[in-house]
Structure 1
């Protein structure tokens, strides 16, 4: 049996503002924007080339045994790209405040690209949810 990660909830305060950020600025595809039950709205978006989506929810009660995350508390969700500099340019060109490309060196984080698997950038959504973008080898995208 396969266990696939398909949807990650992202806690936000304003669905429309967040939809605009993720769709128009970050470039995710809007898969769903619907009131699925009275008072329950779900917006689901997917990064280009990904099978895993994010979902922003309004009016959805927590599942039994879980807690609802506060907006801005999701940190470290990671996206992978094959060209970190192109990804940074695209995000910055769309108005996203994005960090410089950094790598982990002997003395900690340093500006510039590192070796394979060692180039990163970060950005936050309007609520402060933090994202990490990592450069992955291009041969992995062909799997």
Structure 2
């Protein structure tokens, strides 16, 4: 039996602001924006190439907006992904090399596969990590 993770609910305070961030700035595909009754709206977006989507909606979870931490995206080229998000106006951290000594300056020759990460937050403060994984 397969158990697949298909959807993660992301707690946000402003649906339109969050939708613009995830669709326009991160480049997630807008799957649907559905009004469910007079007071409920659900927005589903999927990162390019992902089998798991995020769902934004008010009243879908007890988590406070900004309280979701540790979501992680995987990319094949961390430097290119970081440059793309910077170009879209996303504030991202420097690339960090896990396991490197403290203060280790990142070198162009550093192998980022599995060890390279950068981080960002959505407008509500939900935190994301981006990790480089090149599958052989």
Give the TM-score normalised by the residue count of structure 2: 0.90
Say what the alpha-carbon RMSD is for the aligned residues: 1.6
Alignment map for 1:74-93 (pairs within 5 Å): 74-93=68-87
Contact 1:122 1:130 in 2 (8 A): yes
1:35 paired residue number: 35
Name the one with the larger strand percent. Answer: 1
Q: Which residue of 2 aligns with 1:44?
A: 44
- Secondary structure at the residue paired with 1:90? helix
SS in structure 2 of the partner of residue 44 of structure 1: strand
Unaligned runs of 5+ in 1: 63-67
Q: Following the alignment from structure 1 to structure 2, what is the Cα–Cα distance between the partners of residues 59 and 69?
A: 9
Whose RCO is larger (CA < 8 A, sep 6+)?
Answer: 2
What displacement does 1:128 show? 0.5
Q: In the aligned structure 1, how far is the partner of 2:105 from the partner of 2:63?
A: 32
User: Between Structure 1 and Structure 2, how many residues are aligned?
Assistant: 133
Residue ranges of structure 2 left out of the alignment (5+ in a row): none
Task: Give every structure 1 segment of 4 or more consecutive aligned residues whose post-TM-superposition deviation is greater than 6 Å.
Answer: none
